[in-house]
Structure 1
Amino acid sequence: MKQQNSIPTSKVARATQFLKTGAKIGGNYLKYNVKKIMDPSMTRDELHQDNATDVYESLSELKGSALKVAQMLSMDRSVLPRQYVDKFQMSQYSAPPLSGPLVVKTFRGYFGKAPHELYDSFDINAINAASIGQVHEARKDGKRLAVKIQYPGVAESISSDLKMVKPLAVTLFGLNEKDVERYTEEVETKLLEETDYELELRRSVEISEACSHIEGLIFPKYYPQLSSKRILTMDWLEGLHLKDFLQTNPTQEARDRIGQLLWDFYDHQVHQLRQVHADPHPGNFLMRADGTMGVIDFGCVKVIPDYFYDNYFTLINPDTVDDDALIEKIFYNLEFLVKEDGPREKALFTDLFKQMIRLLGQPFASEEFDFGDHSYFDTVYAFADELAKVEEIRNSKVARGSKDGLYINRTYFGLYSMLNELGARVRTNRPEWLRSKKQEAQVS
């Protein structure tokens, strides 16, 4: 794999990289328009592929928050064309790694020692590399360890990077500018937390211990004496990422077992801990043929405020959608509706968000749900496509939805996507108060 010997860390160097990317995108549009004149039937697929390649290569060199935003967008298939999703998914665990000299320099900066002075052995070549850091294999006292090293300059460049990513997201992906502003505010807060490996270590230990009762989940042990603000050492966990796991043709039983672990893991965090591992992409889960699964990377944790939890999950109960007064109250509380809305806007957004809730809450409406049912996901994506075409949404002067919903929605979307790829059938365990009283009455 190609290695990077340096990362642009100054604002000028990073801004220059964004400008170069913009120039390439402009060239792609020019090339597309010329070809379109020659062949009016030509689709935008080639344009999307060229732009996706150029944007990914540029962000991969920058690392950090710019690449992290690409990773997050790749999880939301309703936002981006397929070409972007496929390319950006590479940032989850296969971005170009740092070279050996940069790795040694990072260790000397935090420990005053090179890696080989801290561990019995240390593989200077990264095993995998993602948006904020890369992972190396090491050994000490007979234990196999995973060492996560943060890229230089990531934490310091978050704010300026997001300011440069915002116009790119608006123009290239056609996103609503107000929504992007709201999105980047919350993302900046979480990214600053995610670059603090000392905070990640504390959260990793806390949540791992709180979820240790879920049989089949495996968590690594963490080593504070071999960790710092930018370096994190933990036990090495065996297992395969989702794509590699599926290539082994696992049994339906194994896929269902892992799917159930994923569901129960998130159910316990959300409803019992009120904080959640909010980075549910395949790179953070290590799956095994026996149906057990390792969980890593607690850098991105969303603490769920009580007001948001109460309102948001009340919507999940199917009975709520039929209660117009309650729905209206919650929609205002969660900022789906705003006081500036006139009668027409209020009716339009109420109807759209009610449809969305019925659709996304469907797995909670039954005791068991087959996430391998592609027709359900086709309906979700079709609805998202239609939603993106609604002029009132695209031209809205206000952002819709509480900022606290950004990472919760992202978490559930990532969870649903993994369960869909697994083709898993799961028991949708949930608190009693989220169950429909009307459905129970009909059954009895």
Structure 2
Amino acid sequence: MKSQTTIPATKVERATKFVKTGFKVGGNYIKHYTKRMFDTDLSKEDLHEDNAHDIYESLSELKGSALKVAQMMSMDRNLLPKAYSEKFTMAQYSAPPLSGPLVIKTFQKYFGKTPQELFDTFTMDAVNAASIGQVHEATLQGKKLAVKVQYPGVAQSVSSDLKMVKPFAIRLLNLNERDVEKYMQEVESKLLEETDYTLELKRSVDISKACAHIPDIFFATYYPQYSCERILTMDWLEGKHLSEFLQTNPSQEVRNKIGQALWDFYDFQIHTLRTVHADPHPGNFLMRPDGTMGIIDFGCVKEIPEDYYQNYFALINPHILKDEAKMNQLFYALEFLSPADSPAQVAFFKELFKSMIVLLGKPFHTPTFDFGNEAYFASVFEYGEKMSKYKEIRESKSARGSRHALYINRTYYGLYAILHELKANITTTKPEWMM
């Protein structure tokens, strides 16, 4: 993959790139509808393919928050047409890497030295390049290290990028502007945190230490003396990402072991720490043949407010849905329902969210759960598709759900998706009070 020698850094440069992409997307629509004049049966697949290619190409050059939003959207199979989700998935693992001179410039700015002067060896070619930064391999005193270098200008461009990416999100996802606006502040705050490697260093050390007792997971050791707000140095962890790991055809026992470790890791963070690694895409887990798993990248961490935690997880208890008064109270507290709703809207959204809670809560309602159950996941995806078509949702004047739900739901969606890929059958531990 060809490396980038420059990244558009100023607002004008980045805005120009967005405008050019907008023109390309507009041209794709014109081309598609011109073809449809002669072929009324023409599907939108070609349109989606062209748009996905043009948008991803631009976002991957811009790096940062624009590319991160594409990564987030790719994690939900129901959010985007297939062409987009397949293309945007590349943001989880690979984007055009930064050229060597820009990497050296970053080290000189923060350490006053080149990476070759800091480490015994340093590979100038990135071994992994994603949305916020890229990873290089280094050695020091016989230790193999992973050195994450942030792309220049990413932190300064978060707010302006989100303003520019919003129209694309509204058009692609068929959302109304109120929905997008409500959650943009939450996304912006998390993306700003992800660009602060000093904060990530602290969270990495704190969560690794707190979760060290959980069987079958391991973490890197971090090196503050070789880290700063834009560079993060840690031990190199051996292991394979999910897709590579599954190609080795691991036994069901190993799949279950890794799945259990993953569930236990999230269960402890959410219900004990109230702080959770909220970026569970496959690129952040390194799996080994013995059924152990390394966990990396604590840039995106969600702290769960106590009142939100109590209300959200109260709904996991299936008996709550039989208590009309309590259920109503929780639905309003969690912003599923709004005081401005008409009686018809209250009835519609209550039934909609009750169905969703029953479906997504199933793993919690039995002592064990088989995440390889294809029928269950087919019903989840069908439900998501059905929701996207309800005009009541599209035309609602209120965005449904607290802003805190954005990253909690994303965490569970990512967790379920990985467990499904593993086809893991696990013990679904949960706090006693929840049941």
State the TM-score, normalized to the length of structure 1.
0.97
Residues 362-410 of structure 1: per-residue CA shift (max 9 Å, x gap): 1111111111112111111111111111112101222110001110000
Q: In 2, Cα distance between the equivalents of 1:409 and 1:420?
A: 16
Match of 1:113 in 2: 113
Match of 2:153 in 1: 153
**Corresponding position: 1:90 with 2:90:** yes
Residue type of the partner of 1:368?
A: T
Residue type of the partner of 2:223?
A: Y
Residue type of the partner of 1:400?
A: R
Residue type of the partner of 1:110?
A: Y
Give secondary structure in 2 for the equivalent of 1:137: strand
Displacement of 1:26 in angstroms is 1.1
Residue type of the partner of 2:369?
A: F
Displacement of 1:34 in angstroms is 2.0
Q: In 2, Cα distance between the equivalents of 1:395 and 1:149?
A: 43
Match of 2:291 in 1: 291
Match of 2:56 in 1: 56
Match of 2:331 in 1: 331
Displacement of 1:416 in angstroms is 0.5
Q: In 1, Cα distance between the equivalents of 2:52 and 2:257?
A: 35
Give secondary structure in 2 for the equivalent of 1:307: helix
Structure 1 stretches of at least 4 aligned residues deviating more than 4 Å after TM superposition: none
**Corresponding position: 1:315 with 2:315:** yes
Aligned-pair Cα RMSD in Å: 0.8
Query: Are the equivalent residues in 1 in contact too, given 2:92–2:283 (CA < 8 A)?
Result: yes
Displacement of 1:172 in angstroms is 2.5
Q: In 1, Cα distance between the equivalents of 2:35 and 2:337?
A: 44
Matches within 5 A, 1:142-221: 142-221=142-221
Residue type of the partner of 2:289?
A: A
Q: In 2, Cα distance between the equivalents of 1:261 and 1:176?
A: 39
Residues 227-264 of structure 1: per-residue CA shift (max 9 Å, x gap): 00000000000000101111111111111111111100
Residues 76-125 of structure 1: per-residue CA shift (max 9 Å, x gap): 11211111111111101211110000000011111011000000000010
Q: In 1, Cα distance between the equivalents of 2:432 and 2:238?
A: 36
Matches within 5 A, 1:1-400: 1-400=1-400
Q: In 1, Cα distance between the equivalents of 2:52 and 2:86?
A: 9
Q: In 2, Cα distance between the equivalents of 1:175 and 1:57?
A: 23
Q: In 2, Cα distance between the equivalents of 1:431 and 1:150?
A: 38
Residue type of the partner of 1:131?
A: S
Residue type of the partner of 1:370?
A: D
Query: Are the equivalent residues in 1 in contact too, given 2:80–2:172 (CA < 8 A)?
Result: no
Q: In 2, Cα distance between the equivalents of 1:215 and 1:168?
A: 43
Match of 2:428 in 1: 428
Residue type of the partner of 2:399?
A: A
Residue type of the partner of 1:415?
A: L
Q: In 2, Cα distance between the equivalents of 1:61 and 1:344?
A: 47
Give secondary structure in 2 for the equivalent of 1:212: coil
Residues 334-368 of structure 1: per-residue CA shift (max 9 Å, x gap): 11111101111111111101111011111111111
Match of 1:442 in 2: none
Residues 24-48 of structure 1: per-residue CA shift (max 9 Å, x gap): 1111111211222222222111111
Q: In 2, Cα distance between the equivalents of 1:30 and 1:253?
A: 53
Residues 3-34 of structure 1: per-residue CA shift (max 9 Å, x gap): 11000010010001101111111111112112
Give secondary structure in 2 for the equivalent of 1:319: helix
117-126 or 314-323, which deviates more: 314-323
Give secondary structure in 1 for the equivalent of 2:318: coil
Residue type of the partner of 2:273?
A: L
Match of 1:408 in 2: 408
Displacement of 1:173 in angstroms is 2.3
Match of 1:438 in 2: none
Q: In 2, Cα distance between the equivalents of 1:41 and 1:289?
A: 49
Query: Are the equivalent residues in 1 in contact too, given 2:316–2:361 (CA < 8 A)?
Result: yes
State the TM-score, normalized to the length of structure 2.
0.99
Displacement of 1:171 in angstroms is 1.5
Displacement of 1:323 in angstroms is 1.3
Q: In 2, Cα distance between the equivalents of 1:362 and 1:238?
A: 34
Aligned residues: 435
Displacement of 1:127 in angstroms is 0.4
Displacement of 1:66 in angstroms is 0.4
Residue type of the partner of 2:136?
A: H
Q: In 1, Cα distance between the equivalents of 2:18 and 2:46?
A: 22
Residue type of the partner of 1:357?
A: I
Q: In 2, Cα distance between the equivalents of 1:323 and 1:246?
A: 43
Give secondary structure in 1 for the equivalent of 2:89: helix
Q: In 2, Cα distance between the equivalents of 1:134 and 1:145?
A: 14
Percent of aligned pairs sharing the same letter:
64
Unaligned 5+ residue runs, structure 2?
Answer: none
Give secondary structure in 1 for the equivalent of 2:260: helix
Residue type of the partner of 1:89?
A: T
Q: In 2, Cα distance between the equivalents of 1:343 and 1:77?
A: 32
Unaligned 5+ residue runs, structure 1?
Answer: 436-444
